[in-house]
A and B are shown apart, each in its own frame.
Chain A
Amino acid sequence: MTAVLINLLYIAASILFIFGIKKLGSADTARKGNQLSSLGMLLAVVATLLYSGLSWWMVAAGILVGAAIGAVAAARVRMTGMPELVALFNGFGGIASLLVGCAEFVKIRDAGLAEYLVALQQQSGVVVPGWFALLAIGLTILVGGVTFTGSLVAWGKLSGKLAGAAVGFAGQQFINLLVFGAALAGTGLMVAGNGESGVALYAGIGLMVLALVFGVLMTIPIGGGDMPVVISLLNSFSGVAAAMAGFIILNNVLVVAGCLVGASGMILTVIMCKAMNRTLGNVLFSGFGSTGHSGKAVDGEMKPATVEDAYFVLEAAQSVVFIPGYGMAVAQAQHAVKELAELLEEHGAEVRFAIHPVAGRMPGHMNVLLAEADVPYEQLQEMDQVNPVMPTVDVAIVIGANDVINPAAEEDEGCPIYGMPIIRAYEAKTVYCLKRGKGAGFSGLENPLFYRENTRMLYGDAKATISALVAEFGK
C-alpha cells in the first residue's frame, strides 16, 4: 500500500517539475514555475521518506547540513558571481549521482548480486537482469564523475582560480579518446564480473577515476568565450547522471526529472552553439584560440578618445545602444551603466541594450546583471531586433565585448569565428569601445572594429569610464 502511495506522490512530483519548467520559459510566470518545481522536489523527498528502514539521524543530518550550506551560498553570492556558483552547484549534483552509483555498487559487493536484485525488486517492484543494474551503475559513475570534475574546472575558470584561456597539449584528443575508451572498458569489466569479482571491484574504482580525469580533460581545452556552451552541456550531463541513477534504483521520478533536465540542457547547448555558428564537436574539440590563428592583421590605428569627447557626442545623440560583454561583468559596471542610460534618456535619447546570446560566460549572463541593476526589461533587445535598426543609431557603446561585435566574423573567411552572427555595432554612426587596454581580447583575435573610421577607444576600467561619463552629465 505504501509503495502505491509513494509512486503516486512521485507522479505528482513529476507533474510539478513539468509545469515548473514550462512556466520557467516565460518572464511573467518564471518565479511561480521555480516555486512549483521546488514543491515537486519537496514532495519527492517526503515520498521517499515513507520507505521504511531509513536511518533517521543520517537523513536529518544530511539534509540539514546540505540545506544550510546551499542556503548560505545562495544568499551570499553576488550577481556577478552567479556563473561560478551555478557551475559549482551543478558539480555537486554530479558527485551526488556518482556517490549514489558507488553506494549501490557497495551494496552489491556486500550482499552479492542475486540478493541485491531481490532487495531491489522488493523496493521498486521491478525485475531487472543483473547486467542492467551494473550497466546503470557504471554509466551513473561515468556521467556523474565527468559532470563533477568538469563543473569544478568550469567553476575554477569562471571564478578566476584557474587560467581562463584554453589549455591544449599535443595529442590531447587522442588521450581524451583513450581515457574515455578505458572508462567504457571499465564499465564492461564491471558488468562481466557480475560486480562481485575482484576484477569488477578494480574496474569500478578505475572507472570512477577515469571519469573524474575525463571531466577535467574535456573542460580544460575550452576557452573563456565558449564557456556558455560548456556550462549548459554540463547542466545537461547532471540531468543525465540523475536519470542513470534512476535506472539503478528503478525509480520513475529520477528517470523523468533527470531526463527533462538532460533534454533542456541539451537545447540550451544547441542554442549557444548556433549563436556562434559552430557545432558542438567543434566547440569541444577544436580548443578555440589555441590554433594560433589570430585573424588578419589590421591596417590603421586605434583612435583613443577622452571622456569629454564622448560626453559631447552622447549629449547630442538621439539614439544610443549599449552592447555589454564579459568586460562589464568583470568591472561590475552594470549599475553605473544603468545610471548613464537614465541620464541619456533624460536628455531625450532612445536607449537600448543589445544582448548577444553568447555575451558573457553563461547563457543569459548579461540579462541577469542588467536585471540586477534594474534596467527596464523592454530596453533589453536581442541581436535580431537590434541589427536592422543599427544604421539609424547615433552612438553604440561597447562595454567589454569583443567577439560578439567583431566584423571579421562577417568579412574574414580565415578568421576562427567566421560565420558567427554578430551585433553590427560598426553600422552605428559613432562607436565607443570601452576596453581595459590595447591588447587583443579574450579570444586573442584582432578586432577590425577598433580600427574603423567611426570607432573611438575609451581605455581604462569600464566602471570608472562610465562613472566619469555620468559625472560629466552632472556638471
Chain B
Amino acid sequence: MELAPLLLLLFAFTLAIFLGFELISKVPSQLHTPLMSGSNAISGITIVGALLALNTNESALAQWIGFAAVVFATINVVGGYLVTDRMLAMFKKKDGGKGGPKA
C-alpha cells in the first residue's frame, strides 16, 4: 500500500489528459496562436523542478545544472506569457474600436 500516493499521481495525470482535451476541443482558429504560446508558457512549469535542484545539500554539479534549467525555464515562462499578452492585446484593441466612432 506504500504505492498509494504514487497511484494518486498517476490518477491526476490521467484526469489531466482528459481535462486538457475537454478544455481545448472548441477553440476558434483565430485564437490558435495565442493558445499555443499561452500553453507553451505553462509548460515552463518545469521551473518548479529546476528550483528544487538548487538545494544547497546537493553537489555543485547538480546545482549548476539546476541553475541552467532555471534560466531556460524562466525565459520560457516570462517570455511566453508576455508575448501572448502582446498578441491578445492586439485582438482586444479591435473590440474596443468596433464600438467607437469609425473614421
Contacts and interface: CB of A to CB of B under 8 A. Distances in A.
Interface stretch (A35-43, A170-178, A417-425): A35-43
Contacts of B94: 371, 374-377
Given A67-B74, A96-B69, A264-B23, A82 B83 contact: yes
Contacts of B25: 267
Interface in A22-78: 22, 24-28, 30-31, 33-35, 37-38, 40-41, 44-45, 48-49, 51, 53-55, 58-59, 61-63, 65-67, 69-71, 73-75, 77
Secondary structure type dominating chain B contacts: helix
Contacts of A123: 52
A413 interface: no
Given A99-B66, A264-B39, A362-B36, A58 B72 contact: no
Interface string A245-260: 1111111111111111
B31 A364 contact: yes
Given A31-B92, A254-B48, A258-B43, A53 B55 contact: yes
Interface residues of B, number: 86
Contact of A128 (B6, B33, B46): B6
A306 to B, nearest CB: 31
B91 A24 contact: no
A274 B38 CA distance: 22
B95 to A, nearest CB: 7
A260 B13 contact: no
B98 to A, nearest CB: 7
A367 B74 contact: no
Contacts of A134: none
Contacts of B46: 93, 96-97, 100, 241-242, 245, 254, 258
A386 B15 CA distance: 38
A414 B79 CA distance: 44
A235 B12 CA distance: 21
Contacts of B9: 126, 246-247, 250, 252, 255
B24 A27 contact: no
Nearest to A90: B40
Contacts of A459: none
Interface stretch (A101-109, A153-161, A199-207, A403-411): A101-109
A89 B45 contact: no
A262 interface: yes
Interface stretch (A13-21, A309-317, A466-474): A13-21
B9 to A, nearest CB: 6
A368 interface: yes
B31 A27 contact: yes
Interface string B18-61: 11110111111111111111111111111111111111111101
A387 to B, nearest CB: 15
A308 interface: no
Contact of B38 (A34, A48, A238, A243): A34
B49 A249 contact: yes
Interface string A409-447: 000000000000000000000000000000000000000
Interface of B: 2-3, 5-6, 9, 12-13, 16-21, 23-59, 61-63, 65-95, 97-98
The 6 closest A-B pairs by CB, nearest first: A66-B74, A263-B20, A70-B79, A364-B32, A62-B70, A363-B32
20 contacts: A17-B45, A21-B35, A25-B28, A30-B88, A55-B63, A69-B71, A96-B70, A102-B65, A110-B62, A123-B52, A128-B6, A261-B43, A263-B16, A263-B17, A368-B34, A371-B91, A372-B90, A374-B97, A376-B98, A382-B29
